[in-house]
Amino acid sequence: MAAATPAPAKKGAKKRKIADVQDSAAAPASAANSTPSDASDKPAPKKARVDAKPAATSKAKAKGKGKPKPKGKGNNSKTGKARATTAADASDASSTTSTEEALMLDEINGWGWKEVAIPEGALLTGADDMGGFMCLEELSGVDVVTKEYAGRAGKQIVFKKTKSFKPVKSKEATLEEGLDDEMMAKMGFVHVDTVLPDDDPEVVKRLAREDAKRRAMEQQGSGDGSGDESDAADHVADMTLDSDSEHGDVSDDADGDVHMSDANSDNVDEEVDEEEDSDDADSVRDPPTVDADADSASNDEDAADADDDDAEAASASAQPEPVDPSAPVSRPELPEPEGIDGMSAWTKVAPTINPWLLKGLADLGFTEPTAIQAQTLPAALMKRQNVVGAAETGSGKTLAFGLPILDYLASSDVVIKHPVGLVLSPTRELAMQISDHLRAVIKPFSYSHKLNRVNIITLVGGFSEEKQRRLIASSPHIIVATPGRLWDLLESGQLDGDHVRNVPFFVLDEADKMLEKGKFKELENLIGMMTKEESTTEWQSNFKVLPSAVKVQKPPRKRQMFVFSATLPTSGPTYSFRGKEITLKLLLKKLNLKTFETVDVTGSNKTTSNLIEAKIDCVPEEKDIHLYYLLTRYPGRTLVFVNSIASIRRLVPLLSLLRLPVYPLHAQMQQRQRMKNLERFAANENGILIASDVASRGLDIKNIEHVIHYQVPMTSDLYVHRSGRTARANASGLSIVLVAPKELPAYRKICDQLDKTSLKEFPIEHQYMREFRKRFNLARRIESAEHTVAKKSHDDSWLKRAAEALEVDLEANDSDEDEGERRKRIRHETMVDSLKAELNAVLDKTILPKGASKKYLRPELAQALNSATNSVMPASSTTATYDLKALRKKLTKKLP
Ligand SMILES: Nc1ncnc2c1ncn2[C@@H]1O[C@H](COP(=O)(O)OP(=O)(O)OP(=O)(O)O)[C@@H](O)[C@H]1O
């Protein structure tokens, strides 16, 4: 049995545009059994900003790019194999239909059909199975049917035309010329060169308005002055996605994919790879360049005006000047952006702030600065001072240090072609979030003109180095990185040391964490590299930098530094980390930061006033039940922090069995999975993230309602950061700590360090706990039985593999034992099934009485928490005994 497929498409031309995306989607696949497909067969290009219609055809297709030459059209019955034919071969010009449909059928005829083998019975079991075969039934007017062969077994696929088509009367598309623009427009194509550079409806509308205005002006005063023309050309260039040859490369990336995504698309996307790809594409697409289009447009005009006799001279003068790539390129003059009238609160603290940043802030709804921003900007943006900043979690520190960098970029007269900002973050997720946040603010400026594109890249572990190399090559303006990955890239010579050493802005976010002794060796190396005046052999040997990696020739420019955290000890002599006292002085000495402004807007207890804090005393064995109770009783986006990855691995399957939407997050997970889980958590309003402290700092996920500390955190700083994932940006939130008797000393220390007498006892409805316990215990039993089955089958397969490797006949030696084991496994499996049935039956019933409020922060609960007079330690019932025991133990130890 055989089916037909067109010959593989020719490799597309190098200069591919948006229309080609559609084309490649519609191009026939070359794999066996694959067939010509409609554009819908392949996913649309990620974030393509143009709705190029109709999807199944394209300008490039019409031109014949990538289209196989018609061949093998004749009858091949001689071969004895089936051949797909199309009834559209017999053209019928009598009736009229849309040119689009006609073109499609024309295409089918045009593809060079060839035979490929299909395994007997795999596809052609009946006409019913043909539905969607090759996606051709998507084409209006084509049916896919099978036909018995005359006189022999087997079936034949036939594409049957069900409508008549009038061939396109206008100029026929040829491989060389394609359809003319008029024809393309009639068919509903959007010319790729008119595609706007953004899918943001606001920007699209504004650019369209400006375009209309400009056209009207051009028509009115046509010919008067070249300035207008060059403006117009500039604008067209601005709106062009990839009209010059430099952009041809976009389509030719390693994956063969064309990426036409939003310039700000470093967002967490479905696939990490895609996300990075899109970032790559963006970066490659838009390096700051001389606007050659505008130049050549006006030069062409000049040449056209020249006297014929002087044609040669005119054409010589029309040659564009050779461009020195290192020469500064001026930024276009931009009009004042609209919609920034209500932003005076910002200009009050930073009068010179670039209006395009105000526009970005206004678009985000940030009409006034937060306290840390209001106090940082005068020093950082107006006076260009170093700033050491401390402010509560969720109080907007990212923009406090980000705005001065963005302002520098937006206010430069010339196009900047090198990195100006380096932001270091302790975790990958936080680094990506910082990049996204900065991009969101600079977006209107970035899209105001092609030359204004601000390129922010993220360099973190977990992504392929190849992709990160491509990002580095994309002329980034701001690099947001984790120290480890940045150092790797420097050490291996992939990132030029000068890029890092000469940045005029350097940010250390979560600085206290970053500077923990021994935690970030790479950071110490980086700081050493950045703070040394000159490259010396001593320095190089100290930090083991490959000489090729760091080409430091000159001392760094004056650099502005930002050192930020929610838990920086700006006042008071010291702060402690795991028993070690660290002074701020020591911290700043490491950074070689001698002069700086301190901005500290943290309250005495370091947590935000919108945070309601409570605790639950319970013995370790009861923690699971209490957790289950809280998660079920009060649904809402909840982040559960645990102290060990083992706890995550234990809790996630149990809570999943109990039908809770739980997602794990810890450092041993693959980066792709980490991103996916964060995405899922952020998308599910009742989502539950069970995380290690990798999620404790900086993560800004909207509307996290509750944070639960399953175990008492090791330090008060950690408690502050964990709790700070809720109650962000003026929202309210609840943090609950589950305290086991053994954890009381750690808990007390935290309270002490944060100036809290104690936390309020969270009210538990004990009458329901029995039922919660019953359900949880069922889940535990299922888990344990499943574990036994899984372990057994794992052991078996290991044994089998080992036996195979040793060429031992397992069956013969172990058959008796196998039988016993097999019975055991069946018993376990049966038990799992019946336990599951039991659990499902109880889960179908609700525990809470009808009408019980499920709102966590319902007023009476908040009231109860606030008014509780819990001045003594919470575990009042257990504290005394616990303390006594502990004391006795201590005393006994001291005795000789
Ligand atoms: N001026 C503003 N007005 C309103 N919201 C703002 C403003 N500035 C920032 N935000 C929002 O506040 C939230 C918290 O900001 P950000 O992540 O910078 O906080 P942070 O202080 O760095 O927190 P953390 O210490 O946890 O890292 C973000 O969602 C951000 O978009």
In this structure, which residue's CA is closest to atom 22 in ligand 1? 397
Q: 49 lies in a domain? A: no
pLDDT band, very low/low/confident/very high, at 760 (cuts 50, 70, 90): confident
How far is Cα 403 from Cα 372, in angstroms, rounded to an integer? Answer: 12
pLDDT at 410: 94
Q: 575 C-alpha to center of ligand 1: Å?
A: 25
Q: 356 lies in a domain? A: yes
If asked whether residues 571 and 650 sit together in one domain, one would say no
Q: 373 C-alpha to center of ligand 1: Å?
A: 10
How far is Cα 296 from Cα 529, in angstroms, rounded to an integer? Answer: 44
If asked whether residues 587 and 615 sit together in one domain, one would say no
pLDDT at 155: 65
Cβ–Cβ contacts within 10 Å for residue 730, how many?
11
Q: 408 C-alpha to center of ligand 1: Å?
A: 21
Residue to mutate (ligand 1; options 403, 433, 728, 735; most atoms within 8 A of CB): 728
Helix H or strand E encompassing 640: strand 638-641
Angle between helices 645-657 and 766-806 (to 10 degrees): 110
Helix, strand, or coil here: 664? strand
Which residues face 617 on adjacent strands? 739
How far is Cα 796 from Cα 410, in angstroms, rounded to an integer? Answer: 64
Amino acid of residue 842: V
Q: 719 C-alpha to center of ligand 1: Å?
A: 19
pLDDT at 127: 38
> Token pair 């993220």 is at which residue?
458
pLDDT exceeds cutoff 70 at 494: yes
Give yes or no for a contact between 618 and 624, defined as CB atoms under 8 angstroms apart.
no
Q: What are the tens digits of pLDDT across the range 694-714?
A: 999 989 998 999 999 999 999
Q: Which of 151-165, 241-255, 463-477 has the lowest mean pLDDT?
A: 241-255
| Domain end position, chosen among 569, 600, 631 | 600
Token pair for 225: 């002055």
In this structure, which residue's CA is closest to atom 30 in ligand 1? 396
pLDDT at 812: 53
Spell out the residues 6+ positions from residue 556 whose beta carbon is closer than 8 angstroms to its own. 501, 502, 530
| Domain end position, chosen among 564, 581, 600 | 600
pLDDT at 333: 82
Q: 392 C-alpha to center of ligand 1: Å?
A: 10
Say if strands 142-148 and 113-117 run parallel, antiparallel, or are unpaired.
unpaired
Q: 303 lies in a domain? A: no
CA 726 to chain centre: 21
If asked whether residues 637 and 591 sit together in one domain, one would say no
If asked whether residues 588 and 682 sit together in one domain, one would say no
More confident residue, 196 or 371: 371
If asked whether residues 475 and 497 sit together in one domain, one would say yes
How far is Cα 330 from Cα 772, in angstroms, rounded to an integer? Answer: 68
If asked whether residues 665 and 596 sit together in one domain, one would say no
Which atom of ligand 1 is nearest the CA belonging to 729?
12
Q: Which domain holds residue 424?
A: 343-531+556-600
pLDDT at 754: 86
Token pair for 630: 């809280």
If asked whether residues 615 and 593 sit together in one domain, one would say no
In this structure, which residue's CA is closest to atom 25 in ligand 1? 393
Which atom of ligand 1 is nearest the CA belonging to 724?
26
Which residues face 423 on adjacent strands? 480, 507
Spell out the residues 6+ positions from residue 725 whose beta carbon is closer than 8 angstroms to its own. 393, 639, 695, 696, 699, 701, 704, 707
pLDDT at 422: 95
Q: 59 lies in a domain? A: no
Q: 738 C-alpha to center of ligand 1: Å?
A: 28
pLDDT at 387: 93
Q: 210 lies in a domain? A: no
If asked whether residues 387 and 516 sit together in one domain, one would say yes
What does the mean pLDDT of the chain come to?
A: 67
Q: 628 C-alpha to center of ligand 1: Å?
A: 31
More confident residue, 398 or 61: 398
Q: 350 lies in a domain? A: yes
pLDDT band, very low/low/confident/very high, at 321 (cuts 50, 70, 90): low
Residue 475: name the closest of 274, 284, 607 by CA.
284
Which atom of ligand 1 is nearest the CA belonging to 440?
31
Q: 729 C-alpha to center of ligand 1: Å?
A: 6
Which atom of ligand 1 is nearest the CA belonging to 566?
25
In this structure, which residue's CA is closest to atom 4 in ligand 1? 366
Which atom of ligand 1 is nearest the CA belonging to 400?
18
CA 164 to chain centre: 48
In this structure, which residue's CA is closest to atom 27 in ligand 1? 698
Which atom of ligand 1 is nearest the CA belonging to 366?
3
Q: Which residues line ligand 1 (CB under 6 A)?
A: 366, 369-370, 373, 391, 393-399, 566, 698, 700, 724, 728-729
| Domain end position, chosen among 745, 780, 815 | 780
Split into its structural domains, the chain has a count of 2
Residue to mutate (ligand 1; options 398, 423, 441, 480; most atoms within 8 A of CB): 398
Give yes or no for a contact between 454 and 445, defined as CB atoms under 8 angstroms apart.
yes
* Across 629-647, average pLDDT: 93
3-state secondary structure 94-124: CCCCCHHHHHHHHHHHHCCEEEEECCCCCCC
Give yes or no for a contact between 393 and 513, defined as CB atoms under 8 angstroms apart.
no
If asked whether residues 671 and 749 sit together in one domain, one would say yes
Domain of 592, CATH number, reads 3.40.50.300
Q: 411 lies in a domain? A: yes
How far is Cα 885 from Cα 896, in angstroms, rounded to an integer? Answer: 19
In this structure, which residue's CA is closest to atom 14 in ligand 1? 394
* Across 116-122, average pLDDT: 45
Question: Hey, which of 10-19, 247-256, 514-523, 820-829 has the most confident mean pLDDT?
Answer: 820-829
157 dihedral zone (left: phi>0; alpha: psi -120 to 50; beta): beta
How far is Cα 708 from Cα 723, in angstroms, rounded to an integer? Answer: 8
If asked whether residues 516 and 422 sit together in one domain, one would say yes
Q: What are the tens digits of pLDDT across the range 527-564?
A: 878 766 443 333 333 333 434 334 433 444 578 999 99
If asked whether residues 581 and 650 sit together in one domain, one would say no
Q: 678 lies in a domain? A: yes
If asked whether residues 508 and 640 sit together in one domain, one would say no
Residue to mutate (ligand 1; options 370, 373, 721; most atoms within 8 A of CB): 370
Q: 666 C-alpha to center of ligand 1: Å?
A: 24
